Amino acid sequence: MKSYIGVVQMNTSDNLAANLAYAKVQIEHAAFVGLDLISFPETFLYIGADNQQKHQLAQSLEGEIVETFRALAVQYNLSILLGSIYEKTKDDERLYNTSVLLNRQGELAGVYRKIHLCDAPTLGYNESEGVKAGDRLVVVEHEIGNVGFSICYDLRFPELYRGLTAQGAEIIFVPSAFFLLTGRHHWLPLLTARAIENQVYIIAPNQWGEHYQGRASSGSSVIIDPWGSVLCCAPERSGLIFSTLDLSYLREVRTNMPLLQQRRPELCQ
């Protein structure tokens, strides 16, 4: 089975209206070229230094933001990955960093809350100060295949991807706002490794360029196949790229090199 998948590279700002308008233009473009699914980066509707504003913009999954994209999915007859949005929590002052997959009918096909939070002294960034970690791996059945979810910093934890693959994932999303400092060295090698070792398609929409006060993202949004080949990679600008995914090819790779059946996990405890 083949599907036509799009990846949006963005330079998100602290202007929600402008970010939303850009996303709508890309969805219209995706429909025009006949995509089955369009994917956006991490926190694609807001990146800014004002934590108070971040909290003011956060919503529940029943809020106006998700409802807007549900309507767009129906209007344009395609699935949409909201790479991540800030989701209000009921019992904590912090927010969830939440990825939402909408199907063509505008239904919530999958919801994943980022598990690994980027507390990195090298980057001067402590995500856990404002974000609450999720605690559940998510794999869902979708028309394009069995889809697993991850977000940005999760990429550094291979056991998460092995767990998603063990639960049947054939395609794994990695929406990100990967820092420029680390991304220029780590982004593509880590994504390629996750694709090869799990024999999955990796779909990784990333933020690009400077956002505020020196905070910059690395770009190179990409789709990688189960052999580790780059099917498409975004240039140094915002925009939409796309490629075809072929699950029959994935199964061929897994049959001809049956890594997942040759594992010895009992020796790795």
**Residue 50 pLDDT more than 90?**
no
At residue 20, the pLDDT reads 98
* Percent of residues, the chain, with pLDDT higher than 70: 100
Cα angle 208, 57, 74 (rounded to 5 degrees) comes to: 75
**Catalytic residue numbers, as ranges:** 42, 114, 152
Q: Which domains does the chain have, with CATH numbers?
A: 2-267 (3.60.110.10)
At residue 51, the pLDDT reads 83
**Residue 268 pLDDT more than 90?**
no
At residue 245, the pLDDT reads 98
Cα angle 77, 232, 141 (rounded to 5 degrees) comes to: 45
Average pLDDT over residues 84-108: 94
At residue 92, the pLDDT reads 74
Q: Which two tokens stand for residue 123?
A: 């980057």
At residue 84, the pLDDT reads 98
Q: Which of 216, 154, 164 is nearest to 191 (CA)?
A: 154
What is the DSSP pairing of strand 139-142 with strand 201-204? unpaired
**Residue 269 pLDDT more than 80?**
no
At residue 1, the pLDDT reads 83
Question: pLDDT digit string (tens) for 112-160?
Answer: 999 999 999 988 899 999 999 999 999 999 999 999 999 999 999 999 9
> Which pLDDT band holds residue 224 (cuts at 50, 70, 90)?
very high
Average pLDDT over residues 68-81: 98
Return the residue matching tokens 């990846």: 7
Average pLDDT over residues 82-97: 92
At residue 68, the pLDDT reads 98
The residues with which 243 forms a beta bridge, in sequence order, are 5
- Chain mean pLDDT for the chain: 96
Question: pLDDT digit string (tens) for 8-19?
Answer: 999 999 999 999
